[in-house]
Amino acid sequence: MASFHEALSVAETYSPAEEQFNRRRRTVGTLLAPVAFLGLWLWPLPLARDAQAMGAIMALVVVLWLSEALPLAVSALLGPTLAVVMGVTSARTALAPFADPIIFLFIGGFILAQAMFVHGVDRRIAYTALASPVVGSSPWRILLVYAAVTTTLSMWISNTATTAMMFPIGLSIVAHLARHAGARQGDVRRYATAMMLLTSFGASVGGMGTPVGTPPNLIGIGMLEKLVGVQVTFFQWMALGVPLVVLLFAYLVAQFYITSVRGLPSAAGGTDLVRAELARLGPVSRAQKNVLVAFGATVVLWLMPGVFALLGLAQHPWAQRFSQALPEGIVAIIGALLLFVLPVDWRQRKFTITWEEASRIDWGIILLYGGGLSLGELAFSTGLAAALGDAVTSWLPAQSSLGLTIIFTAAAIVVSEAASNTASANMIIPIAIAVSASAGVRPIEPVLGATLGASMGFMMPISTPPNAIVYSSGFVPIGQMMRHGIWLDIVAFVLIVGLVTLLGPVLF
């Protein structure tokens, strides 16, 4: 099977037509960004000087994010830098969000996920599940377990990493089915399409289940805390995210069973292929045990405040002291630090992870989050957000909590089809907060809808790296991705709005 890095290398593999589209998009962004900046800066608008300057900076950054004319992290750094240069704020204020506690939740979670990859814990989990005798030679059960593993893993490690890791496993299963199932070529190709799309869609859906599953989740949580003063705990998020993941997963497997799996004959020896790969991994190593200990301890500490609440102990002095001493960012760092002190070989002073390995996490996402949070805070402190909220509210057809949740969930889904999910969250969530404040509506539900909607983007290979990875297999015609993707977008929209409206007032 291909290695993780070989699979990951296709994350940015596009067809010639898509490459041409991306080049044109970047060219348009390079030309349009300074025009948008100068236009908003020089146009006589009824705004205070700092608010107008901040509006020009936001316009510049948004165009750069949508077009990806610059790397997303670079654009995120450019915004706060310009705010300081133009006298909107001080360097200390502009750069403070880059050290926000949620940044360290990102860092700790990324290091834990990196350790899972370095020591093959993710692959062992996948192979163990697929090698189960329950799976057997049934193409349906193979697809069901494969999709379940993909979705579950992506709740804890990045969607792109999950897709890249599961991608070669899925290709090997398809090749085995083609050789041994005796199915017609068209049936095998439909099955391959289903497996590839479930790899991508399952990874994106699973990421919504936990705060660390995908960056938009932490962006929404961070902005609710910083801009609204509402704290969303790990447990509260899972109480909303996990039911959404389960419902979307059920829809996906039902959809692909009906369209792609029914009637396929069994593939003899289907589990033998995976068992051979599992055997190749050898027995569970000391490093893998250490990773599981560190990861398990971190998750338990993340969930404890929610457990206290369920037991009616949330107001107990000890429970409150626990929450103060072990906020989620600190817990993530503790979990990461455990990896540096749990020994693999004490005599050689070899520990579970080295700094060289840990430093390979995605620092760009961290900078992108910090930049987005900085821009959001500056938009509110300068009065730009209030002015924008009033302007948008004046022409919105619906100003109720449900109406704004519908509008901003839909907006986030649409934007995420053309821009990165993280950039989409950074763009839509501050507007949702500003408009909610202007309309006198509680912002939690619209923000949650926008946050979850930003994790969509299923219709095009350029929508997300997972889509690009599976598209590179050759088994996913663009028409199939668009057809299945748009239906998933619609179903997700309905479920997000429904669950946020139903559970939001209860949980938050």
Listed range (237-246, 373-382, 386-395) with the worst mean pLDDT: 386-395
**Residue 45, pLDDT above cutoff 90:** no
Number of structural domains in the chain: 2
Residue 227 and residue 435: Cα distance in Å, rounded?
13
In a domain, 57, yes or no: yes
For residue 224, the 8-state DSSP code is: I
Segment 386-427, tens digit of pLDDT? 888 888 887 777 678 899 999 999 999 988 887 778 888 888
Residue 333 and residue 114: Cα distance in Å, rounded?
14
Average pLDDT over residues 32-51: 92
Give bridge partners of residue 345 from the DSSP assignment: 350
In a domain, 338, yes or no: yes
The percent of residues above 70 in pLDDT, for the chain, comes to 92
In a domain, 83, yes or no: yes
**Residue 1, pLDDT above cutoff 60:** no
pTM over 0.85: no
Tell whether 349 and 315 lie within a shared domain. yes
Tell whether 322 and 346 lie within a shared domain. yes
**Residue 320, pLDDT above cutoff 80:** yes
Average pLDDT over residues 214-225: 90
The structure tokens listed for 391 are 């302007």
Count other C-beta atoms under 10 Å from residue 133's C-beta. Answer: 6
In a domain, 326, yes or no: yes
The confidence score (pLDDT) of residue 5 equals 39
The confidence score (pLDDT) of residue 185 equals 66
Tell whether 352 and 296 lie within a shared domain. yes
In a domain, 162, yes or no: no
The answer to whether the CB of 110 falls within 8 A of the CB of 156 is no
Tell whether 65 and 108 lie within a shared domain. no
Task: Write b or e for each residue in 288-311: b if 16 or more Cβ atoms lie within 10 A of its Cβ, otherwise e.
Answer: bebbbebbeebbebbebbbebeee
**Residue 491, pLDDT above cutoff 60:** yes
**Residue 83, pLDDT above cutoff 80:** yes
Mean of per-residue pLDDT scores for the chain: 86
In a domain, 10, yes or no: yes
Residue 364 and residue 70: Cα distance in Å, rounded?
12
Tell whether 48 and 5 lie within a shared domain. yes
Report the Cα 92 to chain-centroid distance in Å.
29
Tell whether 323 and 301 lie within a shared domain. yes
**Residue 260, pLDDT above cutoff 80:** no
Residue 183 and residue 266: Cα distance in Å, rounded?
9
265 versus 83: the higher-pLDDT residue is 83
The last residue of a domain, from among 97, 131, 157: 97
* Backbone Cα Rg of the chain: 23
The confidence score (pLDDT) of residue 10 equals 40
In a domain, 206, yes or no: no
Average pLDDT over residues 312-336: 89
Tell whether 26 and 54 lie within a shared domain. yes
Tell whether 77 and 109 lie within a shared domain. no
Tell whether 8 and 44 lie within a shared domain. yes
Q: Which of 33, 164, 125 is nearest to 473 (CA)?
A: 164
Please give the residue range of the domain that contains residue 111.
Answer: 100-119+285-360
Q: Which of 455, 117, 95, 123 is nearest to 278 (CA)?
A: 123
The answer to whether the CB of 198 falls within 8 A of the CB of 150 is yes
The last residue of a domain, from among 301, 329, 360: 360
Tell whether 9 and 69 lie within a shared domain. yes
The last residue of a domain, from among 97, 128, 146: 97
**Residue 353, pLDDT above cutoff 50:** yes
Count other C-beta atoms under 10 Å from residue 48's C-beta. Answer: 13
The structure tokens listed for 64 are 């750069």
In a domain, 85, yes or no: yes
Tell whether 16 and 82 lie within a shared domain. yes
Give bridge partners of residue 343 from the DSSP assignment: 351
Per-residue pLDDT band at 17 (split at 50, 70, 90): low
Tell whether 92 and 111 lie within a shared domain. no
